[in-house]
Amino acid sequence: MNKNSIIIDIVKKLDRKEFRELGDFVRSPFHNKSKNAINLYKYMESHYPEFNEKSMGKKAVFHSITGKEKYNDGLMRIILHSFRNLLEEFLIQINLKKNPHQKEIFLLNELNIRKYEKLFTKSLKNIQKELEIYKYKNYDYYKLKYEIDLSIKNYGSWKRYKSKDFKDLFEHIDLSMVNNFISYFLAVSLSFYRFQLFKQQTVGFKGNFKMMEEILLFLENEGANFMAIPVIKLHYNEILILKENNESSFYILKNILVKENELIPHDLRYSTHNILQLYCINRIFKGEPSFAGERLELYKIAIEQNLFKRTYVDYFDEILFLSIFTVAYGRRDFKWADEFLQKHKKQLSPDNKTFIEGYCNAKLCHARGRLNDALKIVESLHHVKHWQYKVLIRDLTLMIYYELGWMNEAIAQLDAYRHYLKTIKPKFSASKFERIMMFIKIFGKLIRIKEKKDKDKALTLLLEFNKISNINERDWLGIKINGLAK
């Protein structure tokens, strides 16, 4: 046992309240009858939450919890295995506490097995009453409805032997089961499909989804009644945006975010906002700058509804953080961008905070002409491993080199950049990769023209550039090309 063991890893992620509850769980005779497991908990209690490596060594732990001088590795493995099983059972109990309706389904199933009719009917009425006020009719809702119907059907299968006229009470249950199951299946399937389509546009993911085409046809024809379900309507329109760039679906979804948000849970609205932003980005890179205004409006909605986090307890999504910063930066509202950075940077995950904060500060230094400060920050971030972040760093480094007049360094960096992109091309969608490569192409021409001070070629490049919309750092390139063409 050491600081990297599975047991220690799980226990370190329990908060103090949960850790105390673990102690109650381990001491409960119903769950555990091993004194060694209780002693192991007591030992960990004295070292929680740091768990010093030396004190958590197998031999030290064994001697403390068993009182035996001679170390027995076989026995220690049994103790640890048993305690790990207890931990897993405890995590299941935590999850059940968070999902009380699932506990009620388990209760209905057990009451059915034992044929406790009076308690079954009482419990059934309770959960049905709770579902009537269920806030969000999402996947969980229809799954629960189906499981309740199934419990009723099972109840009827043994109750009918006691009552000849019992059949009338269940004449509609089969139809209800089918409708609830189809609703659940459609909601989950559409959610999966829109996520795969989103991946196709962002990281170049490919897949075969012929079955999903059949589902869409079903919804557009004989299954149109299921479109009245908010979560199905939401995912269907998300798919039309991602698959067909359907503008009507864009405004339908935007309206849902603004006027029907009380029908959709937070995590789904978070995803919808991301899809709407991706649509705006694609329209902007196709030469429709008016969608920059739509992006800003969507970000205002996102901030108002706290949609910069997937859940209420998550960190600020780093991609969304960069996007909000970039929109403000692109509008040259550097004061707002800086205020946004200072206000929300503490909400970033510790794993990504250093890079996100550093990159944003480097962009602000670059925009304000503090090129050496910007370069110093950028150089401190070159260790980043995420390929999407590496692209951001390389683009900014090239721009700084250009403005410092370091043409040799820029040419060397450009060549290394091309080679690097060959290794990660499969990670990008075709459109996104084109955007990066177009920046490299135009930047390379920009350097050569600046070195030779050739105004005619600058004018030719300007004509070529004005026909291009799908390109990174378009505003910056436009300013530099226009400067050389004057």
Least confident span in 102-116, 132-146, 159-173 = 159-173
Q: Mean pLDDT in the chain?
A: 90
Return the pLDDT at 1: 60
Q: How far is CA 464 from CA 445, 453, 479, in A?
A: 11, 18, 14
Structure tokens at 278: 């991706």
- Looking from the CA of 211 toward its CB, the CA atoms found within 13 Å total 7
- Where are any strands of DSSP class E within 150-282? none
Span 155-165, average pLDDT:
68
Is 38:32 a contact under the CB 8 Å cutoff?
A: yes
Give the C-alpha separation, 39 to 361, whole Å.
Answer: 51
Region 219-242: what's the mean pLDDT? 96
d(CA 112, CA 83) in angstroms, rounded, equals: 33
Residue 188 lies inside a defined structural domain of this protein? no
Percent of the chain with pLDDT over 90: 63
CA dist 296 → 288, 324, 394 (Å): 15, 8, 26
Q: Is the pLDDT of residue 306 over 90?
A: no
Q: How many C-alpha atoms does 269 have within 13 Å on its Cβ side?
A: 27
Buried/exposed code over 45-70 (b: 16+ C-beta within 10 A; e: otherwise):
eeebeebeeeebeeeebbeebbeeee
Q: Over 60: is that where the pLDDT of 163 sits?
A: no
Would residue 350 count as lying in a domain?
no
The structural domain count of the chain equals 2
- Mean pLDDT over 388-408 rounds to 94
Q: Classify residue 338: in a domain, yes or no.
A: no
- The answer to whether the pTM exceeds 0.75 is no
Instruction: Match 């004989």 to its residue by tokens.
Output: 222
423 assigned to some structural domain: yes
Instruction: Name which of 479, 394, 469, 393 is nearest 434 in CA terms.
Output: 469
Are residues 414 and 398 in contact, defined by beta-carbon separation less than 8 angstroms?
yes
Distance from chain centroid for Cα 262: 21
Residue 284 falls inside a structural domain: no
Low-confidence winner among 1-15, 96-110, 185-199, 416-430 (lowest mean pLDDT): 1-15
| Confidence at 168, pLDDT banded by 50, 70, 90 | low
In a domain, 226, yes or no: no
pLDDT of 289 reads 81
Share of the chain above pLDDT 70, in %: 95
Q: Produce one character per residue of 141-179: b if its CB has 16 or more CB atoms within 10 Å, e if not.
A: bbbbbbbbbbbbeebeeebeeeeeeeeeebeebeebbeb
pLDDT tens digit string along 426-466? 888 888 899 999 999 999 999 999 998 889 999 999 999 99
Helix axes 247-259, 291-304, angle to 10 degrees: 30
Give yes or no for a contact between 479 and 444, defined as CB atoms under 8 angstroms apart. no
d(CA 92, CA 397): 49
Question: Among residues 98, 124, 152, which one ends one of the domains?
Answer: 98
Could you give the C-alpha distances from 349 to 313, 356, 358, in angstroms and in order?
11, 10, 14
CA 405 to the chain's CA centroid: 41
In the Cβ-directed half-sphere of 47, how many Cα atoms lie within 13 Å? 21
Cα separation of 23 and 17, whole Å? 10
- Is residue 293 included in any domain, yes or no? no
Amino acid at 279: Y
> HSE of 85 in the Cβ direction (CA atoms, 13 Å)?
11
Q: Does residue 481 surpass a pLDDT of 70?
A: yes
Q: Which residues pair with 348 in a beta bridge?
A: 316
Q: Which of 73, 98, 123 represents a domain boundary (last residue)?
A: 98
List CB contacts of 431: < 8 A, sequence separation 6 or more.
Answer: 201, 282, 285, 470
CA atoms 190, 196, 199, 200: torsion sign:
negative
30-81 pLDDT, tens digit each: 999 999 999 999 999 998 988 887 788 888 899 999 999 899 999 999 999 9
The rounded distance, in Å, linking the Cα atoms of 204 and 64 is: 54
Gap between the Cα atoms of 95 and 333, Å rounded: 45
Last residue of a domain, one of 83, 98, 113: 98
Q: Which domain holds residue 468?
A: 385-486
Identify each DSSP E strand in 49-195 by its residue range: none
Report CA-CA distances (Å) from 280 to 11, 247, 283, 293.
Answer: 44, 10, 5, 9
Q: How far apart are CA 81 and CA 474, in angstroms?
A: 58
Residues of the chain by 3-state class (helix, strand, coil), percent to 5: 80, 0, 20
Q: What is the pLDDT of residue 159?
A: 76
